[in-house]
Structure 1
Amino acid sequence: MRLRAKPVFTHLLLLSTALAAGPVLAQGTTQLDALVVDGGGTPGGYAQVQTSAGSKLSVAVTKIPQSVSVVTRDQLDQYPNASAAQVLRNTAGVSTETYGTDADTDWFYIRGFQAEQTGVFMDGLPLYQTGFGTFLVDPFLLEQVEVLKGPASVLYGGASVGGIVNFTGKRPRDERFLRTETGINNFGNAYIGVDGGDVLADGDLAYRVTGKLSGGGWETDKARDLRGVIQGSATWSPSEQTELTVYGSYQNVGLVHTSSGFLPYVGTAIDAPGGVRIPRDLYYGEEGFDRYDRQQVMLGYELEHDINGDWSVRQNARYAGVNLIEDYIYSGGVLTGSELNRFAFGHETQVGTVSIDTQLEGHFTTGALDHALLLGFDYKHYGIDERQGFAAVDGLDVLNPVYGAAIPPLFYYRDDVITMNQAGFYVQDQIAFDSLILTLNGRYDHVWTAIDNRMTPANSASREEGNFSGRVGLAYEFDNGITPYVSYATSFNPSLNTDAAGNLFRSETGEQWEAGIKYDPAFFDGLITASIFNINRNNVVGPDPSNPLVQAAVGQVNVRGAELEALANVSDFTLRGALTYLEAEVLQSAGATPAGNSPVQVPTLTASLGIDYTFADGAFEGLTIGAGMRYLGESWADPANTAKVPDAALFDASLRYEKDDWGVALNINNIFDTSYVSSCQSLTSCGYGAGRTATVSLHKSW
């Protein structure tokens, strides 16, 4: 039975009504920290933050003709030892941890489309990912996280049509500072972090060093990790017009895997025959075989020169590399009685990517029009060398696991080198006429892609193609702080998938219509935004239903939806909320999902509400208490739309105390330890969401 869609505008009204009731319900999570914020507002408040994700220029969110959310550093500090996916849990339009608890990959969808591979950027430069060649970003190294929703190709080239996440790394300050932080959770996973910097005596050189070491247990039995990361940066300012920042980071991760994903629908979302339910903390691997060794490095620079006050030029460049060796026992996704079938998998992956972006920015006037012009050229080289193999392994009784299965030699089915080169020219003109803002973008990209298949040389392939993308947006800033806007944007995303004959598929393309309102009130610190949108994704590729190891053209997918986000600092209260409604449908299909059905892993409704109260004086001065609720709606568990993943309501709480230059906090997520499935890619691949996690942390500024 299919869920019939209701008009998007009707649901937008329902969402608006629900958010208006938020302060009455007072059920929001303390950590609803990924919310739209604005460039104006009270100093020190959330609404003063600016973003560069939507225009490559640092501007207020109200001036971007698309929806943008920002997680500030103050908000990130409320997520001690969290992953990048966890800090985005409560962002409107974003669903995270789609494969359950995972220690080595940050999974997330934006507006109904998978985005962790082609939608990840850092400091405005791509961290393109494919296969197992993933990059891990620790939020402790970040200044903020920005989410641009909808097509971003006009600025960044190939990217997910649903949107992108841009991580902004910490940089030197114009002052001496030092912050230390430590904590531990109920699974015995502890961390310690240090972040400090200084300015040399003449003031021309500043530096910053940030490091973190963490490790311990996880929710899954036997799982554990040890990881360390260090990041250094230095800024040289030889004159008031010129500034050069160089930076680098190194990360090393070793772990025994968590195993809450890739499980069968029957036995997780619903009971198996006989009432069998797979334990959420089941470890279905083999410790003697389990291996995960990651080394990741990034090196880059940011150069900016102010030419004459109206014109400036900048160049950002970075090399990022990953060397990853992994051996793991995967669930086969079939439960027979209480026995779970399994297979061994191993891979060796090396990734290297070079990105460079050169920009010319100018501000000038033509008659009554004020222009903010951006001209740019960027280049990306991506290369991945990967080898993958598998072997059948004896099953495991989920109710009485006995380990020690023999691991036969792996059968290697993939051994190839993939390279992609992308060069793009782009232009953006943001034109202001009184209170009217017109944003015009155009870009042309040329992409060269090649696959060197070392196992079957005849199936090696290459493709060269060009793509245009554009955006036009119109907004009007009223004096009362209300800014309505409308925009149309297109995108493309090069494909690295091949058909059965070894031919590369054409690049995906996409388009989005969006309309919304952004409200920056003058009488309190905060921002409220509402948007409706319609996205088409074309040339989609997915597994062939007759052979899952072969890709097939899926065709076209449509997502319509509405989002509502709000944040307000009123007196001693901080109120936060986020609501998302999505209608997803496959319009044309030649793959596993029939036309007319909805894609898997896309919840129809997600919501979060939160409230914090801070005692400003008296005996409890400096104490903040918070409570919250997260709601994850139903989603389809199979392409045929015969089974649904049940919805879940999760409650969080926190207690924080700040005094002078130190602070202590207790954060509890999923306080009632609700067992739920976050999503299913198929009836043989579902993932448990995280159970109760309590973290005690302590920090001090020196």
Structure 2
Amino acid sequence: MTRLSPSPRLARLMATSAATALLAAFPAQAQDAPAFELSTIFVESSGPGDADSETTVASQISSGSGLPNDILDSSATVSVVTSAEIERRGASTTEQVLQYTSGVTTDFYGRDDRYDFFKIRGYDATTYRDGLLIGDAFGGVREEPFAFDRVEVLKGANSTAFGLSDPGGAVNFVTKSPTGERLREIYGTLGSFNHKELGFDMGDSFGEGSPFSWRLTGKIKDGEAETESSNDDESFFMAGLAWRPTDYTTVSLVYDKLYRDGYPNSSGYPANGDEFDRSLFLGEPDFNYLDTDRDTLTLKLEHDFGNGLSFGSTARYTKGTGGFGYVFLGGTTGATTVSRYYFANASEFENLVVDAHLLYETDIGNVHSRTMVGVEFRDNYRENKLWYTAAADIDFTDPTYTGGLDLGSTAPYQDTTNKVQAKSLYLQQEFSWDRLIAQVGLRQDWIDQEQIYHIAGMDLPISGEFEETSLRAGLTYKLTPELSLYGSYAESVVPASFSTAYGYGLEPERGKQWELGLKYRPDGMRALFTASIFDLTKFNQTVTNPDTLLDEPVGESRVRGLELEAKAEINDQLSFTGAYTYLESEIVQSDSGGNNGNELPHTPKHQASLWVNYLVPGAGGRGDLDLGLGARYTGEYWTSTANTDRIDAAWVFDAAVGYQIADNTALRLTVTNLFDEQHIAQKGFSANYYNPGRQWSLTLNHTW
């Protein structure tokens, strides 16, 4: 298979049309890379007068079945984090956005900013943007939450609606796009570790009655991290243009640029029983970087033909580079000395994905039918290199730095090229009558993947072609207009993981899930309460070692659990978000047999969180005062499949205070880890890694 050059890829994206997408439905091959992109998820606003910027309680979703839906009508567990909730909690990273969501585990690798570290129901999570798949959260680009209007979290297997994904769940980021309404917002932030940040979000039409509208969003950040000799810099810019020639047609084009000069890792702390200050740096100042440079272009087309028939298509082209370099610790070599190792990564990636669908709605007697049929094409390419070599020992009582590593004169221990090309055909069907709603989905993927190992001047290719069919079926019964009971069965599939070290490769990882749940949305109050129980199984599983980034075989594993979640705005003054998760994981059959019966790593049995907001209305010359307090509990968990090291349970508290200075001007103070709780979050290579320490930020926001 020949790699497409950038210009033909871009031309194909700009020429996306129904015909182009439909041609993609026919069987073809695909190539996989650690990050790959996939099918469309359709998202509506929370409803009339119920915008995401105004409430923490969403009433409309689309990611439950692939069809736009009222949240009570979907036979899946979906949590929506609206922009209002993100703002009230002052969440500035993806992990912070998801910290108060049931079923999601975050912060299990300490203060490490290489990736978005989170799992859903015990498994690595798959991420999407506007329904097109980005890839695994682990090993991918850290997303910028300021770019998004909302974040949807789908729990459990659902390859039918989402495409190739893990059985634990998926996260869909919904991009800010031109709406045609006037929007003017700017902000400035000061914070811990010399943090300085400026941002803006502006949009409008090109004049009264104009069919064209625009939106510009961006931020620039300059800062340091809590560990010495670490940067936390970023620049982000996004521009969107929309054309609405009629009330039935919308065409939009969005470009964004993300650049990061960040903080790769704390280098770790000696595992000798002592507790160290988080600012202690035992790496190398000249070899401590995290670079991301990514460009993305997205084209969307929506058209309503009338009589229940509508068409939608989305295409995205992404190109970028990324990499990191740092020094991490090994074991002790003396009373006050530890060994060290250089670890580095460099990658280039290029992705194209096109999705198109037809949606038809009609009534058949007293049964309402909705049918969606769609096709998808994706072509992904990634080059990846990893370096690992010994560094000089260091005295942790009196650090003396010795310099960095010249990657140009050092051979990588792994040098690979990953390719995936896939063509997919999917069908979603929903029948609803009286109080009963039946949903079924079927998807067929034709995938051709290849991984080339570049070793000592030789190319060692491993490739495979396979077809996968995934099924989803769900049933919802409305016990009352406010209360629904649902049950579902869903399957998942992801392409094979290749490994020359472990000798496995071509068999895809498959998953299945059974789920039963309740959803309650009371009248007279903006609130949503959900409860679900589930049984997940994954076959042919591999687990990514967070230290080496290499996939290691597990075989078959199972997670059973319970999730409870509540989002409620009791009145104009009091609101809260609460969640509890119970997970019981087990390695049913490991490839070696030695880990049979063990629990999955980074999968605590118990997790709980609560965030409460209380608004003190202004009086006289005093503006509104918004008080927020949150608590997060993470139970103990193992650090690896061997179950030899366990992390203790911990409580972490967060807080936020907002003050309305004037009608359009507000000041907000956010503090994460309020009491500066310090505990070990991960152990690896005889070193310990602490959870993120206390950080504060003060933001002044103005709209007009």
The DSSP-based 3-state class of the residue aligned with 2:398 is: coil
Give the aligned partner of residue 688 of structure 1: 690
Residues 49-198 of structure 1: pairs in structure 2 closer than 5 A: 49-80=59-90, 82-115=92-125, 119-129=126-136, 134-198=140-204
> Residue 5 of structure 1 corresponds to which residue in structure 2?
none
Partner of 1:577: 578
Q: C-alpha displacement at 1:561, in angstroms? A: 0.6
1:664 aligns with 2:667: yes
Q: Where does residue 515 of structure 1 map in the other structure?
A: 516
Specify the code of the residue in structure 2 equivalent to 1:228: S
Q: 1:303 aligns with which of 278, 282, 301?
A: 301
Matches within 5 A, 1:465-480: 465-480=466-481
- Is there any run of 5+ residues in structure 1 with no aligned partner, and where? 1-36
Residue of structure 1 equivalent to 2:233? 226
Verify: 1:210 aligned to 2:226, yes or no: no
How far apart are the structure 1 equivalents of 2:350 and 2:332?
A: 36
Report the CA distance between 1:649 and its aligned residue.
0.7
Aligned-pair CA distance for 1:72: 0.6
Matches within 5 A, 1:316-465: 316-332=314-330, 337-405=335-403, 407=405, 409-455=409-455, 457=458, 459-465=460-466
- CA distance in structure 1 between the aligned counterparts of 2:647 and 2:333, rounded to whole angstroms: 18
Indicate yes or no: 2:628 matched with 1:626: yes
Provide the rounded CA distance (Å) in 2 between the counterparts of 1:242 and 1:98: 45
User: What is the CA distance between 1:638 and its match in structure 2?
Assistant: 3.9
Q: Secondary structure, in 3 states, of the residue corresponding to 1:78?
A: helix
Name the CA distance, whole Å, in 1 between partners of 2:127 and 2:225.
26
Match of 2:680 among 668, 677, 682: 677
Pair 303,397 (structure 1): closer, same or farther in 2 beyond 3 Å: same
User: 1:554 maps to which residue?
Assistant: 554
1:421, 1:305 → 2: CA distance? 28
**Corresponding position: 1:244 with 2:237:** no
Task: Pick closer, same or farther for the CA change 1:552–1:628 going to 2, 3 Å.
Answer: closer
In terms of mean alpha carbon deviation, does 395-404 or 530-539 score higher?
395-404
Partner Cα distance (1:441, 1:389) in 2: 43
Q: Which moved more, 1:595-604 or 1:637-646?
A: 637-646
Q: Structure 1 stretch 615-624 or stretch 306-315: which is displaced more? A: 615-624
How big is the shift at 1:436? 0.6
Matched residues in 1 for 2:606 and 2:673: separation? 19
**Which residue of structure 2 lines up, in the alignment, with residue 199 of structure 1?**
205
Q: What is the CA–CA distance in structure 2 between the aligned matches of 1:450 and 1:195, rounded to whole Å?
A: 41
CA shift for structure 1 position 342:
1.3
Distance across 1 between alignment mates of 2:412 and 2:481: 64
Q: How has the CA–CA distance of structure 1 residues 57 and 234 changed in structure 2, closer, same or farther, with 3 Å as cutoff?
A: farther
Answer yes or no: is the 8 Å Cα contact 1:471–1:487 preserved in 2: yes
Equivalent pairs counted in the alignment come to: 650
User: 1:494 is matched by which residue type in structure 2?
Assistant: P
C-alpha distance 503-372 of structure 1, shift in aligned 2 (>3 A): same
In structure 2, distance between residues paired with 1:623 and 1:262? 40
String of CA shifts for 1:615-656, please: whole Å, max 9, x gaps. 235355511112221111100134332432111111122211
Q: Report if the CA contact (8 A) 1:499-1:505 is conserved.
A: no
Contact 1:542 1:592 in 2 (8 A): no
2:309–2:359: 8 Å Cα contact kept in structure 1? yes
1:584 is displaced (CA, Å) by: 0.5
Report deviation, 1:329. Answer: 1.7
Of 494-503 and 654-663, more deviation after overlay is shown by 494-503
Shift of 1:587: 0.2
Separation in structure 2 between the aligned mates of residue 604 and residue 41 of structure 1, nearest angstrom? 39
Q: What is the distance in 1 between the residues matched to 2:392 and 2:204?
A: 57
The structure-2 alpha-carbon separation of the partners of 1:203 and 1:555, relative to structure 1 and needing over 3 Å to count, comes to same
Separation in structure 1 between the aligned mates of residue 55 and residue 548 of structure 2, nearest angstrom? 50
SS of residue in 2 equivalent to 1:252: strand
Taking structure 2 as the reference length, what is the TM-score of the superposition? 0.88
The amino acid that maps onto 1:94 is V
Equivalent position SS for 2:85? helix
Task: Check the 8 A contact 1:39/1:60 in 2, yes or no.
Answer: no
Structure 1 residues 298 and 447 mapped into 2: Cα distance closer, same or farther (>3 Å)?
same
Letter in 2 for 1:204: P
Q: List alignment gaps of at least 5 residues for structure 2.
A: 1-44
1:260 deviates by 3.2
C-alpha offsets along residues 215-242 of structure 1, whole Å, 9 cap, x if unaligned?
Answer: 2111112212321010011110111221
Distance in 2 (alpha carbons) for counterparts of 1:674 and 1:550: 31
The residue identity in structure 2 corresponding to 1:140 is: F
CA distance in 1, matches of 2:611, 2:542: 38
Pair 1:563-2:566 in alignment: no
Q: How does 1:632-671 map to 2 (within 5 A)?
A: 632-658=634-660, 659-671=662-674
Aligned to 1:22: none
- Tell me what 2:242 maps to: 235
SS of the equivalent of 2:412 reads strand
TM-score by length of 1: 0.88
Residue 372 of structure 2 aligns with an amino acid whose one-letter code is L
Aligned equivalents of 1:550, 1:169: Cα separation in 2: 32
Separation (CA, whole Å) in 1 of partners of 2:154 and 2:236: 27
Name the amino acid aligned to 1:176.
R
Contact 1:160 1:493 (8 Å CA) reproduced = yes
Across the aligned residues of Structure 1 and Structure 2, the Cα RMSD in angstroms comes to 2.4
In structure 1, give the amino acid aligned to 2:668.
A
CA distance in structure 1 between the aligned counterparts of 2:672 and 2:80, rounded to whole angstroms: 21
| 8 Å contact from structure 1 (residues 637, 683) kept in 2 | no
| Change in CA separation of 1:252 and 1:671 when aligned onto 2, cut-off 3 Å | same
Among all aligned residue pairs of Structure 1 and Structure 2, give the percentage whose two residues are the same amino acid.
29
